Structure 1
Amino acid sequence: MPDQDFIYTLLLTGKLALVTTTILLIIGIPVAYWLTYSRFKLKFVAETLICMPMVLPPTVMGYYLLVAFSPNNAFGNFLQEYLDVRLAFSFNGIVIASIIANLPFMIQPLQNGFSALPDELRQVSYTMGKSRLVTLFKVLLPNIKASVITGIALSFAHCIGEFGIVIMVGGNIPKETRIASVAIYDQVQALNFEAANRYAFVLFILSFFTLLLIYGINRKINFTTFR
């Protein structure tokens, strides 16, 4: 029977992925919309910064975030001194780190979805007197359901498997920052391969069914669209 530490670690992993994905969806929709339709000349700089986590080693990003969150740094000291918020080696800290690390996995599918839509959809909606907000939620988003689902699933799955940035920012604190990927590393270091295998198997199954969900729903949406 699974021990309490095993269950709690999995629950903490799911909590991190759920919180991160929810915040990313709220942030991702307006950012992807702006990146798609804005004519700002330096937009490519924003796109570059958003996609940096895809090519930058997680430990590098984790190191800089840890330095920023540290009470010895001006930003970290301000948070702790005036707001009583500690981000280094805390759950809130790894949530922020996970949001930054997974931002491209939400933004890119949404941006690709918006880009694939004919611009006439927006123009007709505006002609009918609809606001940008109504056009976004009533016209555009219903037509990119597959992209929204893909962004949610990819962000959730990638967050579950995140390791480098989490261990740099949060460390390995039981019931606080010790998620499943960190627990696997910890158990392997302790030569406890049975426990490591349990964590690894659960993450494997979650990743498999997440991808299965993406392909299954997208296939159904595409079939319904072109029927």
Structure 2
Amino acid sequence: MIRAVLLDVGETITRDDRYWAAWADWLNVPHHTLSALVGSVVARGDDNSEALRLIRPGIDIPTEYAAREAAGFGEQLDDSDLYSDVRPALAALQSARIRVVIAGNQTARAGALLRGLNLPADLVTTSDELGVAKPQAEFFHRALAAADVDPATALYVGDHPANDIRPAQAAGMRAAHLRRGPWGHLWAGTPEAAAADYRIDSLHDLLSIVSS
């Protein structure tokens, strides 16, 4: 029986439009240029941050991130960045007595911003705060420990098969592939996505899964 649902952040509960647009503005390139480069590097199996290095070879991303913050162009998140099903779907899970955990590859600032949105979640944590990122197995172990959740009763939800599906299953959890955002659609028809325990098009689909 599923007693806890853990969710990825980018393109699972939040849209990444603003995040990459802010980087494009900072690096003085058109939004479409950076968006296309992000898609290209992810499609070939690289981390999306490699797109920034294509635009500015040798960039020190943490240093540049800090410079953006200092200049007043830091990371922002508000309700307009959430997908429309997030609040009602997570609230429905909590009403069904399912523990809801948001845990993704994000900065500590993103974690603070997400907590500031007062989402229907029992815990919000990020890779920066956990000290390890997906797809490393330790990310899932630490997220489960922080939430006090048994992996055998947990479901991880995400759009990226390599980061979300295989490693979550390897950590003893069940996994749901969400066909949302560029990566969710790009890999929806792949064997990697088909390996998920569940395949969904909306977070509303989770209630029927945990109720079965």
Give the TM-score range, shorter chain: under 0.3
Structure showing greater radius of gyration is: 1
Structure with bigger helix share is 1
Structure with bigger strand share is 2
Superposition TM-score, scaled by structure 2 size: 0.27
